[in-house]
Structures are given as structure tokens and as C-alpha cells.
Amino acid sequence: MNPIALEQIIKQALLEDIGAGDLTGEAIFSEGHQSTGRLIAKQPLILAGTEVFRKVFQQLDNRIELVWNCREGDSAAPGTVLASLRGPTRALLAGERVALNFLQHLTGIATATKDYVRLCSGTGTVIVDTRKTTPGLRMLEKYAVTVGGGKNHRYALDAMVMIKDNHSKAAGGILPAVQAVRRRISPFIKIEVEVECLEQVKEALTAAADVIMLDNMDLDTVKQAVALIDGSALIEVSGNITEERVAALAGAGVDVISSGALTHSVRAADISLKFE
């Protein structure tokens, strides 16, 4: 992660949540009041975002002591004490919500990703994310995917060429879209094409696409597409990716399964911070 970008993300989150000051905490506790707390897993999880969690409190008060009992990427069972904290009560309370929001969200992504990765075990199929991320949090969310054992698809539009359905429709078809791109870009840049039916698979093969993404196809159609492509291009599957479908799709011989749900609709992990 870019440390400068991370500092800015955390700063903005704290400004949003604290505003001009914590009315409750500052009214009840003196500046010198100290507290200790424990960070507890309430569900099975893959821990992600420990450095983000630490930096939230670091920005508020560098006197806060944080000791992790688990490392980034570790699995933890319900009831596990993930970490202990000690420091000024005002700062602990002011940072609690933001720190937990980041940790729960990133851990949720890593946990869901790990589940998908396990379902592909032994097949060679890779789980990747998409650009369906929370605005402003893409760097963190894509990082959490890697903690869960997944890989990152393109980070932004300037990372690679990906001709989607709207590109093809506006260009008059897959072949003219690919030809237009090839006239413009370096020969060292790969071209991915999104297809929705077997006829479009054939058109993408005629255009010599490097990657063919099978979008929202049922399993039987995916198998037919894999047979048609027959190693001529890297095969990605996307759309309606669920835990129930992942193992079957991986078994069909696809190279990559991409899922926007890993970042745009994942459930936050259940983690609590309890004072002692």
C-alpha cells in the first residue's frame, strides 16, 4: 500500500467521524485518563488491516500501545483475542469506530476471498477482484483481496485494455474494437474482451484477443466456450459468481474467476473492541 495515500485516507475518515471533537468522551474523561481494551474476533476470520488499524490510533495519539496476538493473514476462531490496547481513554474512544470500520471491512474481504480460493484448490484457477470497489478505498480493498490469497485485476482504466460490451456495441462489434485498439497501443499490452455468448467467443478468437472474459454464462455454456477457445487465450469468468458456482467453474477449466462481490457487497467481519 502507498503509505502517503493511506495517511490521507485515514485522516479523511477521522475528520468525517470526529468533526470538531468527541463531545461524549471529552466531557466524561480527563486528558490523563487511561484505559485498556481487547480486540476480540466474534466469528471465524482471516485477519486483514492490522496496519491500518494501528495508524488510525497513531494519528490520534502516539502514546497508545497496541500489541497484536495475531499477524496479518492469520486465521482466527471466535473468541480469539486479536490484540490488546492501552492508552489515553479519549483517544481510544475517538478512534474506535474508524479503526474498527477499516479492520472489519478489510477482514471481511480477506475472509470471503479465502473461502473462494479454497474452493479452487488444486485446479489452478485464480480468484481476482474487479473495479467494483468503494470510491476512495480501492487501494485498501484490493490489498485485502491479496491477504485472502486472491490476485488483483486491473487497478484502474490505465492499467490494461479491457473491451466490454458497451465498447463493442459502440464500435460496431468486437473485431473493429480490437483492431482500433491495436492501431493505438503498444504490442506489449494485452487485450481482454468481454463476451456474452458463443458467437462472440468466436469473434474474439478471430480478433486474436489475449484474454476472453465469459460474462454471466451458465456452466454448460462456459464448458463449450472453454472447448472453443482451447488454449488460444486466457479464459476469465465473471458475473453471478457465488460460492455455490466457484468450484464448478474452476473445474470447467477456466484460468481466472473475477468477482465484484468480494469488494462491493462483502459482509464486514464481526470484531469488537472491549474495554477492561
Active site members: 97, 132, 164, 194, 215
Residue 132 annotated as binding site: yes
- How far is the C-alpha of 84 from the C-alpha of 220, rounded, in Å? 51
Residue 130 annotated as binding site: yes
Residue 239 annotated as binding site: yes
Contacts of 168 (CB under 8 A, 6+ apart): 174, 177, 193, 194, 200
Residue 154 annotated as binding site: yes
Contact 82, 67 (CB under 8 A): no
CB count in 10 Å sphere of residue 20: 6
Look up residue 74 and give its amino acid.
D
Residue 240 annotated as binding site: yes
137: helix, strand or coil: coil
Cell (9 digits) for 172 = 460496431
Residue 269 annotated as binding site: no
Contacts of 203 (CB under 8 A, 6+ apart): 173, 174, 175, 195
Residues in the chain: 276
Q: What is 7-58 written as a DSSP string?
A: HHHHHHHHHHHHTT--HHHHHHS-TT-EEEEEEEE-S-EE---HHHHHHHHH
Residue 131 annotated as binding site: yes
Residue 259 annotated as binding site: yes
Comparing C-alpha atoms, which of 236, 209, 210, 211 is closest to residue 222? 236
Binding residues for substrate: 97, 130-132, 154, 164, 194, 215, 238-240, 259-261
Binding residues: 97, 130-132, 154, 164, 194, 215, 238-240, 259-261
